[in-house]
Amino acid sequence: MTERKIKIATTSLAGCFGCHMSFLDIDEQLVQLNERIEFNRSPLTDIKHCGPSDIGLIEGGVCNADNVRVLREFRANCKILIAVGACAITGGVPAMRNYFDLRECLEEVYLHGAGVTNPQIPGDVELPLLLDKVYPIQEVVPVDYFLPGCPPPADAFLAILLPLLNGAVPPQMADCRFYYD
Amino acid sequence: MLSQHSELKTGNNADADFIADHLLHRLYRLQQQHRHIPPQLMVEVAREFGLPVSQVVAVVNFYSFLYQQPVGRYHLLFSNCTSCGYQAGEVNLLALLCRQLNIASGQTRADGVVSVDETSCIGMCDHGPSMLVNGVPIVNLDEGRIKQLCNLIAAEQSLDDWPADWFRINNHIRKPDLLLNAPLECGDSLKKALAGDALLMLESIMQSGLRGRGGAGFATGKKWLFCREAESDTRYVVCNADEGEPGTFKDRVLLQCHADALFEGMTLCAYGIGAKKGFLYLRGEYRYLLGHLQAVLRRRYDSGLLGASILGQAGFSFDIEIVIGAGAYICGEESALIESLEGKPGIPRIRPPFPVTHGYLGRPTVVNNVETFIAATHIVQYGSAGFSAVGTEKSSGSKLLSVSGDCRTPGIYEYPYGVSIQQVLDDCGATQVQAVQIGGPAGSLLAKKDFNRQISFEDVSTGGSFLIFGENRDLLSINRNFARFFAHESCGFCTPCRVGTRLLENSIGKIADGRATWRDVDEIKQLSGFVRHYSHCGLGHTAANHILDSLRHFPGDIQNLLVQQAFTPAFDLDAALETARQMTQRDDADAHLE
Ligand SMILES: Cc1cc2nc3c(=O)[nH]c(=O)nc-3n(C[C@H](O)[C@H](O)[C@H](O)COP(=O)(O)O)c2cc1C
Ligand code: SF4
Ligand code: SF4
């Protein structure tokens, strides 16, 4: 094939990288896929900012101001944005902190928690500020597709990417395999 | 603890007459005593009833009127219905109340004297803003009354000494017709029925064309016949007096003025299907009617109309017990009601099998609305021909409407089926009407062009709620209220409804706050379809109706509020950083988001 390679960017916001690991689980098909795609910003490339891309894969929810900025950069640069995994779609595991007030969380961790020495709330400008809650990404930017699962199984990545690479519309959730590992 | 329990059982205590020995009642008494249900008592109650502790905990968790944290000695629950709620007038009375008492809604004041919260419609919609104080309704609230009430609480005056007219509830029967006009002599219909064969009576109910008055409109005679024919040695009759649909209060009035006809209807049903036991499931908000209902039951037992050998007919015995709910709209759904009767959280069952074959304790059970039983009594007394002559082809007889909202004379209006909406509006003195909501939040929102439509199963059907919204009402605030109602009352069993109703509530809020875009409206439409099609029970199936109706009939109201952008976030991003900014004392550029 002589056509230009499809550019894919990926990132993990408030996630555990499990979704990325699952993506790599497509194993030898990665070699085939690699002939058709190239990675832009991604933990696989170490490119720091997302450049113009065809597809953006977002793992994880939005828990702090930096997540918001990264997510917006992806949205601005990716033609198609995909929410990957339970955390991106619902907030997932990190959103369990939503049952508590942010104030309570920070005080517990940095002031009153067991084994805390030199209690203080870190306020360095280098540190991204936490949002009051962990939010799903579609509440912050428009999202084109959702790939559910925790993590989505390796096949599911192919099920959504292959049609997109061919310029087709991916199947509805009801038509594909959907399970939580 | 045990002594109280046996007191309930023996019925020595007049207060306990005809009150079932039921987990909810036991928990209610503990709630009264301790103002919450302490965990160790849940364990004790579980042992007493021979239930797993998890079931008792689940029940306490499920019902709104049972608490795990202590409420105040004065526990105030403001109705948040669009008619009898705190925003029914000009002033937000809940906000005023909270200011006066120095308390936030949803909290118990630190001194333990008072707690304030909201509750779903308490069925006092024809009495202006109202609330429950320690479970007792107080009506016609206004600024003056609220201030006076706060003084009484400050002085810790006993409720018995509060002004009696605050508690006065009128029947407001404005327009009687077929049922409300007809005199029914206690026991007459029963005598008629017992003189003939039970099947003959069922036949006449079927011929009358009577359909259920609680909402779904299933043919009553057929329901009774199915139950009679179901294989079993035990059958039950259940009266659904859970009346939770906001804007409905006709069952309250019927229970107050026509309890005899109701109990007679239940007894007729028992005769027809061969049941020995019946329950009246009364919503917790109507607990104040208990004394009256018990007195009526007592009289009927004394006159040989209930109990063993009814009217001297050997072998025909029937007992009625009352079970009182604890604040859960979903318990009006018949299978959830049966779960609740069985001492469980009111989570709807998978249907089929339907209650007529597998109901209470798995036995064939008839569940009917209060009005349905009363209509049955009427039919047996006066014959089916007269009944089916009234109304329309597929809706025979009459319907009681609970009319409230922006009109001169809210109250109970009974009409033959087929009456036009405009006729009702004229009769209750409603002018300059923008819209009516018929059948409660789950029903239909109709605009002026539809006021010539008729109340009937063929056209606009209703369980009885008829809410009127005048021209100066903000309809979106009504949608917001309804969306909140469903999100609050969703039993949480299935995800499409539990999550979907919450998302709908958020989306309506976003529109009302002027932050939404066209994209949000499209998503609401999609989500509404999803909630409607994938939910487990009627609550979810109908929860989005009011939103879709608004979009259809009043698109302009929504359009005007939309911002002209492709997308807006679901929440205020910068505000979401505020707590962290405060805690870190930062205010640099990175500490803000646009
Ligand atoms: C969410 C929900 C709430 C309901 N609430 C009531 C109610 O408060 N009273 C009532 O009679 N029926 C209510 N129903 C209808 C009952 O499930 C049932 O159809 C009715 O009690 C049958 O009696 P009928 O045939 O006499 O109408 C409700 C249904 C649903 C889905
Ligand atoms: S969805 Fe599961 S695997 Fe993916 S980031 Fe979240 S927790 Fe990890
Ligand atoms: S639709 Fe709603 S109320 Fe009905 S079972 Fe599901 S969660 Fe419960």
Which residue of B503, B518, B588, B593 is the best one to mutate when testing the A interface, meaning the one whose CB has the most A CBs within 10 A?
B593
> Tokens 């968790």 sit at which residue?
B61
Secondary structure letter of residue B165 according to DSSP: G
Q: Which of B579, B583, B590 is nearest residue A125 as measured by Cβ atoms?
A: B590
SS3 for B78? strand
Q: A23: how many CB neighbours lie within 10 A of its CB?
A: 27
Mutational pocket test of ligand 3: of B245, B350, B502, B539, the residue with most ligand atoms within 8 Å of the beta carbon: B539
Q: What is the mean pLDDT of residues B147-155?
A: 97
Average pLDDT, chain B: 95
The Cα–Cα gap between A28 and A37 comes to 15
CATH of domain B74-170: 3.40.30.10
Q: Any idea where the domains of chain B sit in the sequence?
A: 74-170, 174-388, 398-473, 479-594
Å between A97 CA and nearest CA of chain B: 14
Q: Residue-wise over B417-447: b if at least 16 C-beta within 10 A, else e? A: bbbbbbbbbebbebeebbbbbbbbbbbbbbb
Q: Residue B468: beta bridge partners?
A: B405, B436
Cβ <8 Å between B584 and A141: no
Beta carbons of A117 and A180 less than 8 angstroms apart = no
> Tokens 């301790």 sit at which residue?
B34
In this prediction, residue A2 has a pLDDT band, given cuts at 50, 70 and 90, of low
> Does residue A18 line the site of ligand 2, with CB under 6 A?
yes
Which CATH architecture does the domain made up of B174-388 adopt? 3-Layer(aba) Sandwich (3.40)
Beta strand spans in B350-464 (E): 365-369, 398-405, 411-416, 433-438, 444-447
Nearest ligand to the CA of A136 is: 2
pLDDT at A167: 87
Cβ <8 Å between B571 and A135: yes
Is residue A109 within 8 angstroms of chain B, CB to CB?
Answer: no
- A177 pLDDT exceeds 60? no
Cβ <8 Å between A129 and B567: no
Check for a shared fold between B74-170 and B398-473: no
Q: Which string of DSSP letters, residue by residue, matches B206-222?
A: HHHT-B-SSSS--BHHH
Q: What is the mean pLDDT of residues B180-185?
A: 91
Average pLDDT, chain A: 92
Burial degree of A105 (CB within 10 A; 0-12, 13-18, 19+): middle
In this prediction, residue B77 has a pLDDT band, given cuts at 50, 70 and 90, of very high
Beta strand spans in B300-429 (E): 319-324, 365-369, 398-405, 411-416
The Cα–Cα gap between B34 and B484 comes to 30
- What the block records as the tokens of B455 is 């109340």
The Cα–Cα gap between B51 and B41 comes to 13
Cβ <8 Å between B570 and A128: no
B530 CB neighbours in chain A (<8 A) are none
- A46 pLDDT exceeds 90? no
Burial degree of A160 (CB within 10 A; 0-12, 13-18, 19+): buried
Cβ <8 Å between B576 and A131: yes
Maximum CA pair distance of chain B?
89
- B31 pLDDT exceeds 90? yes
* B491 CA from centroid of ligand 3 (Å): 5
Cβ <8 Å between A65 and B591: yes
pLDDT at B6: 35
Q: For B119-159, where are the alpha helices, taking DSSP H only?
A: 143-154
What percent of chain B stands above pLDDT 70? 97
> Tokens 């939040």 sit at which residue?
B441
Q: What is the mean pLDDT of residues B533-545?
A: 97
Q: Which of A103, A125, A129 is nearest residue B577 as measured by Cβ atoms?
A: A129
Burial degree of A72 (CB within 10 A; 0-12, 13-18, 19+): middle
Q: What sign does the CA torsion over B185, B375, B139, B291 have?
A: positive
Sheet containing strand B107-108, edge to edge, reads B107-108, B114-119, B74-79, B131-133, B136-138
What pTM was estimated for this model as a whole? 0.93
Cβ <8 Å between A102 and B581: no
> Tokens 């009246």 sit at which residue?
B280
pLDDT at A169: 85
Beta carbons of A53 and A5 less than 8 angstroms apart = no
> Tokens 């003084």 sit at which residue?
B151
- B53 pLDDT exceeds 60? yes
B578 CB neighbours in chain A (<8 A) are 132
State pLDDT tens for residues B208-257. Answer: 999 999 989 999 999 999 999 999 999 999 999 999 999 999 999 999 99
Cβ <8 Å between A132 and B586: no
Cβ <8 Å between B576 and A140: no
- For residue A143, give the chain B residue with the closest CA: B567
The two beta strands, B74-79 and B114-119, are: parallel
What percent of chain B stands above pLDDT 90? 95
In this prediction, residue A178 has a pLDDT band, given cuts at 50, 70 and 90, of low
The four Cα atoms B61, B63, B67, B73 give a dihedral, to 10 degrees, of 180
Nearest ligand to the CA of A13 is: 2
Instruction: Give this complex's ipTM.
Output: 0.93
State pLDDT tens for residues B421-467. Answer: 999 999 999 999 999 999 999 999 999 999 999 999 999 999 999 99
Query: What is the end-to-end Cα distance of chain B in Å, rounded?
Result: 59
The Cα–Cα gap between B394 and B209 comes to 8
pLDDT at B12: 41
Nearest ligand to the CA of B280 is: 1
CA distances from B188 to B179, B184, B185, B317, B385 (A): 15, 7, 6, 17, 18
Q: Residue B358: beta bridge partners?
A: none
pLDDT at A4: 83
- For residue A132, give the chain B residue with the closest CA: B576
- What the block records as the tokens of B82 is 């669009």
- What the block records as the tokens of B2 is 């045990």
| Chain-centroid distance, C-alpha B50 | 30
* B408 CA from centroid of ligand 1 (Å): 29
Q: Whose CA is nearest to atom 30 of ligand 1?
A: B333
In this predicted structure, which of A111-120, B80-89, B219-228 has the lowest mean pLDDT?
B80-89
> Does residue A151 line the site of ligand 2, with CB under 6 A?
yes
The two beta strands, B136-138 and B131-133, are: antiparallel
Beta carbons of B489 and B332 less than 8 angstroms apart = no
Beta carbons of A15 and A152 less than 8 angstroms apart = no
pLDDT at A174: 53
- What the block records as the tokens of A75 is 């949205």
Q: Which of B571, B576, B583 is nearest residue A106 as measured by Cβ atoms?
A: B583
- For residue B584, give the chain A residue with the closest CA: A123
Is residue A65 within 8 angstroms of chain B, CB to CB?
Answer: yes
Q: Which of A106, A122, A125 is nearest residue B588 as measured by Cβ atoms?
A: A125
A103 CB neighbours in chain B (<8 A) are 579, 583
* B540 CA from centroid of ligand 3 (Å): 6
Maximum CA pair distance of chain A?
61
Q: Which string of DSSP letters, residue by residue, matches B81-119?
A: -TTTSTTSSSS-HHHHHHHHHT--TTEE-TTSSEEEEEE
**Nearest atom within ligand 1 for CA of residue B240:** 11
- What the block records as the tokens of B415 is 């009409």
Which CATH architecture does the domain made up of B479-594 adopt? Up-down Bundle (1.20)
* A86 CA from centroid of ligand 2 (Å): 6
Among candidates A114, A176, A167, A121, which has minimal Cα distance to A146? A176
Is B398-473 in CATH node 3.10.20.600?
yes
pLDDT at B523: 94
Pocket of ligand 1 (CB under 6 A): B 212-216, 218, 240, 242-245, 330, 332-334, 367-369, 372, 537-539
* B308 CA from centroid of ligand 3 (Å): 40
State pLDDT tens for residues B461-497. Answer: 999 999 999 999 999 999 999 999 999 999 999 999 9
Task: Walk me through the domains of chain A, giving residue ranges and CATH numbers.
Answer: 6-99+131-177 (3.40.50.700)
SS3 for B349? coil
Interface contacts (A, B; CB < 8 Å): 59
Q: Residue B445: beta bridge partners?
A: B437
- Please state the φ and ψ torsions of residue B527, each to the nearest 5 degrees: -65, -40
Which residue of B499, B519, B522, B583 is the best one to mutate when testing the A interface, meaning the one whose CB has the most A CBs within 10 A?
B583
Q: What is the mean pLDDT of residues A69-84?
A: 98
| Chain-centroid distance, C-alpha B202 | 29
Beta carbons of B224 and B366 less than 8 angstroms apart = yes
State pLDDT tens for residues A128-147. Answer: 999 999 999 999 999 999 99
Beta carbons of A61 and A94 less than 8 angstroms apart = yes
Cβ <8 Å between B580 and A140: no
Burial degree of B301 (CB within 10 A; 0-12, 13-18, 19+): middle
